[in-house]
Structure 1
Amino acid sequence: MKRLAALTAALCLSFSASANDPNHIDCGSCAAWNVAQKPFKIVGNTYYVGTKELSAMLVTTPKGHVLLDGALPQSAAQIEANIKALGFNIRDVKYILNSHAHWDHAGGISALQKASGATVLASEWGARVLRAGTVEADDPQYNPKHIEHFPKVANVRAVKDNEVIRVGDVAITALMAPGHTPGSTTWTWKSCEAGKCHDIVYADSLTAVSADDFRFTGGAGKPDLSDSFRSTIDRIGKLQCDVIVSTHPGFTDTLDKLAKTTPTHNGFLVGGCAEYAAASLKRFDERIATERR
């Protein structure tokens, strides 16, 4: 969690993207976020196939695969190449799951859906945004003077809280986690290896990044979202959690854990949900304190 503060600051500087070309997003951090990352195994049938700073996960089964997130529009080709490098075929991806519908996590989904023919799953709010290719006015980052666009996504279905998605012998559960966006979703499943099954958490962002005039404490006819956001943080912190990967891998030290992994030691099997939540709550409380001054 040591990089959470720095990455949150980068998000604050980068959330306004160029609206001119939704197929290639330009932002202050986009080039750094999109640096190529060699794909790697987390544990069992769970793999990391994203970029250096934008997560995408692949869960494989003999009956088809599940991809989680698509990073930037310009990340899609890299994600597809990473899937191929692991020996899998994009056409075998049955579902693409989205954490939240912002251009840095959903931007590549349109191209990946077309390449795979997969059904895309997201929260009800997220599904609307994916279909439209633009965020709604209740998004904390919504700015009417600089509206966020990314490629519209086809074949999208909404899921509900605690809904279970099954492919082969894998069951992935959707957990609604509103806060960073109204439709944020954390996904959980089990991956088994050497006769032991591990609880995997793909945790959505818990950062209170927003447009300059947005207040999580509400006011001017807007609702106070602070208790709801805290409930989300508390929910994530209490999850059964052998492995956690967040939407930005630096939030959960994913590449540091990879560096500590050896043939006899899996550096990812260290839990981390409670620590992720605690660090996020500290940052959130600091944000709320500034709003209430």
Structure 2
Amino acid sequence: SLDSHASTEVDWSQFAYTQYVTNSDYLCNSVMVFESLDRLSSRADRVMLYPSKMFKSDNDTSLDAELIIKARDEYNVKLVPITVQHKNNADATWADSFTKLLAFNQTQYSRVLSIDSDSMILQNMDELFLLPPAPVAMPRAYWLPPDSHTLSSQVMLIQPSKAEFSRIMAKIESASNNDYDMEIVNDLYGGSALVLPHRPYDMISGEYREENHTKYLGSEDEIWDPVAAYNEAKVIHFSDWPLPKPWRPQPEDILLKIQPPCTSINGTEDCTTRTIWKSFYTDFKIKRKVSCPPIISYCLVSYVYRRFVDPDGDDWCGIESPAEHFV
């Protein structure tokens, strides 16, 4: 196994997990990722690429600054201020997408592992840094048609270099507004990337709502075992259309409508798949409280304000009942 190659002789300071931040939502998500890496005793460095305007000094008392300081002081995160990149006539999603690719320019490291922050890391992944050299390694987007051979940019093991970053920049300059990071990296590396196994490195949460798991299992013969699949997975990426991302309000009617059905085995009801799927969302909320207490405090105040002062005010916190946040 890859784990058997990990040893105390490895210079872990040449490797890093990277997170990119473009707004407050993703800042909290990134802090959650770093909390997981810290709890799982990852040995590589941790690097946050964040907008320079978010944090000027330790005297900054903004919510964003509090979280950035928390990441630095509690989870040993190295801070790299950046300017969030924009392209004319492109939406914010495109800016987020471009900013992710700045990982290719972190040449202070020989290898970086970029993981989308709307994910949960369940197990240590340090072994990936010890894979054979390749400009980039990615799993297949297994949920897409198999003959597309599309790579997933949700997890990218990158060898940063000026040359590769120049190629990325050139591709971005010529890209249309409908081309995002996934299209760009597939364009450049679709035929040459080292392919990571999506089992265990890139499961999407919606897999638990599928009736047929052949794409994920990679076999028509293997029998789906929801517990074994969960125990095997190292990264679960939240992708559950039409359900919003887990930090957004989760409409109860949609939850009930799309949750995995229970099955009947020898006359006994089995709700294991449903239970595990629902646990993704409850676990996320619990971890968010641990990692982002300033955000939770703000959201509670925001909830009260909207409840009694401005019912039509913008809500990015997703609080339906304040009681659920006093656990």
- Structure 2-normalised TM-score? 0.28
- Which structure shows the bigger proportion of residues in strand conformation? 1
